[in-house]
Amino acid sequence: MAKILMVDDSRTSRKILKDILIDAGFEISGEASNGEEGYQMYSEQKPDLVTMDITMPILDGIGALKKIRSDYPDARVVMVTAAGQKSKLIEAIQCGAIDFISKPFDNEKLVEIINKALG
List of residues contacting other proteins (CB under 8 A): 9-13, 15-16, 55-57, 60, 81-88, 102-104, 106
Which residue's CB is nearer to other proteins, number 35 or number 47? 35
Which residue's CB is nearer to other proteins, number 3 or number 102? 102
Q: How far is the CB of 100 from other proteins (least distance, A)?
A: 13
Q: How far is the CB of 72 from other proteins (least distance, A)?
A: 25
Please, which residues have CB within 8 angstroms of residue 115's CB and are 6 or more apart in sequence? none
Which residue's CB is nearer to other proteins, number 11 or number 46? 11
Q: How far is the CB of 52 from other proteins (least distance, A)?
A: 14
Contact 5, 29 (CB under 8 A): yes
Spatial separation of the C-alpha atoms in residues 92 and 65, rounded to whole Å? 8
Nearest to 110 by CA among 99, 119, 98, 101: 101
What are φ and ψ of residue 82, in 5° steps? Answer: -80, 165
